[in-house]
Amino acid sequence: MSELDNLNEFSKKIGETLRYVAFGVIATDFAILTAKIDFFKDKMTSVSQLVLWSLGLSILGLVCDYLHSLFGFINSKYKYEKQIEESEIGNAPIYHLGYLFFYLKQLLIIVAAILLIFSTWKII
């Protein structure tokens, strides 16, 4: 396996893991927001904003995941049409936007998970 193949494989694993985390955070956020348990009612006012931020950041992270894939596809198509080697960048702005969204999705989803953990800790 070449170094480029290793990077692509790790990128796929990171993206897949982040998707699972984001869906888990979103599901948990909705469960907390829609809970009808009397025990939570007095504590929900103090954490509802944190849960909403966690939900919003997770959704934005999933949008960034989609944009990362979209820009990767656009750049690959550009390289194929222009017959540029696989190791070359291709369309530089599109390439760098893809990397921006790759790192942004990681940041957003990790912060969302931390907010969820903190808000759950405050509830309990």
Per-residue pLDDT of the chain (124 residues; tens, 9 = 90+): 677 777 788 889 999 999 999 999 999 999 988 888 777 777 788 888 999 999 999 999 999 999 999 998 998 888 888 888 766 777 788 889 999 999 999 999 999 999 999 999 988 7
pLDDT at residue 1 in the model: 65
Structure tokens at 2: 């070449």
pLDDT at residue 87 in the model: 66
pLDDT at residue 118 in the model: 95
Q: How do residues 57-81 score in pLDDT, each as one tens digit?
A: 999 999 999 999 999 899 888 888 8
Structure tokens at 110: 């990790």
**Distance in angstroms (rounded) separating the CA atoms of residues 90 and 23:** 32
**Distance in angstroms (rounded) separating the CA atoms of residues 72 and 9:** 14
Would you tell me how many other CB atoms lie within 10 Å of the CB of residue 3? 8
Q: What is the pTM of this model?
A: 0.87
Closest CA to 107 of 6, 10, 18: 18
Would you tell me how many other CB atoms lie within 10 Å of the CB of residue 30? 12
Give residues with Cβ within 8 angstroms of 14, minimum separation 6: 106
Q: How do residues 5-16 score in pLDDT, each as one tens digit?
A: 777 888 899 999
Contact yes or no for 52/112 (Cβ under 8 A): no
**Distance in angstroms (rounded) separating the CA atoms of residues 61 and 113:** 11
pLDDT at residue 16 in the model: 95
